[in-house]
Amino acid sequence: MTSTSKRSKYFDNAKFILIFLVVFGHLISPLKEEDGILFTLYTVIFLFHMPAFIFISGYFAKGFKKKGYIVKSIKKILLPYFIFQIIYSVYYYLNGQEASLEFDFLHPHWSLWFLLSLFCWNLLLYVFARFRWVGFCFSIGLGIAIGFIDDVGSYLSLSRTFVFFPYFLLGFLLNGDQLKKAIRSKYSRHVGLVIILGTLFSFGFSLPHNVVPWLLGDTSYANMGQEEWVDGLYRGFQYLLTLIVVYGFLTVIPSNPLKVSKIGERTLYVYLFHGFIIKSLEVTVIDQNLFNFSGQYLLLIILSFVICLILGSYVTKKYTRPIVELKI
């Protein structure tokens, strides 16, 4: 991470691994309740993969004060959200998942919440960035407090916007030297491996099954069970644990160019299109046959990897760029 080129490859590698985890996590989601190993993998993945993605997005948002930044964000983030919200609405109607064709832009379909929240996080920088670390502490307070609003949920992705905003702001606040010092110290990689393996081990033996809604961050405490004041402490602990695991993940990412580094530049394509493949599999594969895949761990990994390779390829980008980046 000593130069722009190496730094770019580092983040491209990180983004490829994260987008693979996104695809793999969504692929095993219907299977996790019947398989303890898949449940452990799912919970560990969802503990840190989106926070890490959001952290990296915040790291590259340092130019938010430049002229035209908002217009650029509208074009790169908000317009694709509207386009794919329409596409997913049509898709769900055609495959029978929705009884009627409706276009609702206030409740994001499935993974599209990220685009809507990402646009909001960029706007929130104009308020929080000036307060630096005080603003970061306040963002954590908001992320905890939003859970006490019973009606908060998927509407405009409000819950996830505030719950995950601290990771975006933290990425924005850290500069390259600070990040390098933290993740490239003498023993950082060893510490990172211990963190990841320790998390997998502890989650495999001690994690309750009702923890999944906490990891998704898309609803209030009341909707996850009985609302109590101690829920705020639980979310605060979740922030701490997530940041530790995100740190562990960032320490083990290689900085040298890999064959999959290019796909790290095209993660948006994988993110936007992988849902059509996975949702089609869920609809076309009979439930009984679907659960037969639960023990086929290598097959699930290979299938996730192939989906990333196809959707992150140059060919996919070439023919879908007009609707993803609005470029002909």
* Residue 10 pLDDT greater than 90, yes or no: yes
Per-residue pLDDT, 194: 97
* Residue 111 pLDDT greater than 70, yes or no: yes
Per-residue pLDDT, 118: 97
Residue 5 pLDDT grade (very low, low, confident, very high; cuts 50, 70, 90): very low
SS3 content of the chain, % helix, strand, coil (to 5): 75, 0, 25
Q: Is the dihedral of CA 321, 326, 327, 328 positive or negative?
A: positive
**209 or 4: which carries more pLDDT confidence?**
209
From first CA to last CA, the distance across the chain in angstroms is: 34
Angle at 211 between CA 209 and CA 217, to 5 degrees: 145
- Note the pTM of the prediction, 2 decimals: 0.94
**161 or 150: which carries more pLDDT confidence?**
161
Tens digits of residue pLDDT in 32-41: 888 889 999 9
- Which residues span the domain enclosing 251? 4-324
**Structural domain tally of the chain?**
1
Q: What CA–CA distance (Å, rounded) separates 225 from 274?
A: 31
Mean pLDDT of 307-317: 96
* Residue 4 pLDDT greater than 70, yes or no: no
**250 or 152: which carries more pLDDT confidence?**
250
Residue 87 pLDDT grade (very low, low, confident, very high; cuts 50, 70, 90): very high
Mean pLDDT of 126-153: 95
* Residue 73 pLDDT greater than 80, yes or no: yes
* Residue 2 pLDDT greater than 70, yes or no: no
Residue 289 pLDDT grade (very low, low, confident, very high; cuts 50, 70, 90): low
93 by Cβ neighbours in 10 Å (0-12 / 13-18 / 19+) ranks as middle
The share of the chain scoring above pLDDT 90, in percent, equals: 77
Which pair of tokens denotes residue 60?
A: 């590259």
* Residue 44 pLDDT greater than 80, yes or no: yes
Q: What CA–CA distance (Å, rounded) separates 137 from 313?
A: 40
Mean pLDDT of 291-309: 88
Mean pLDDT of 48-73: 95
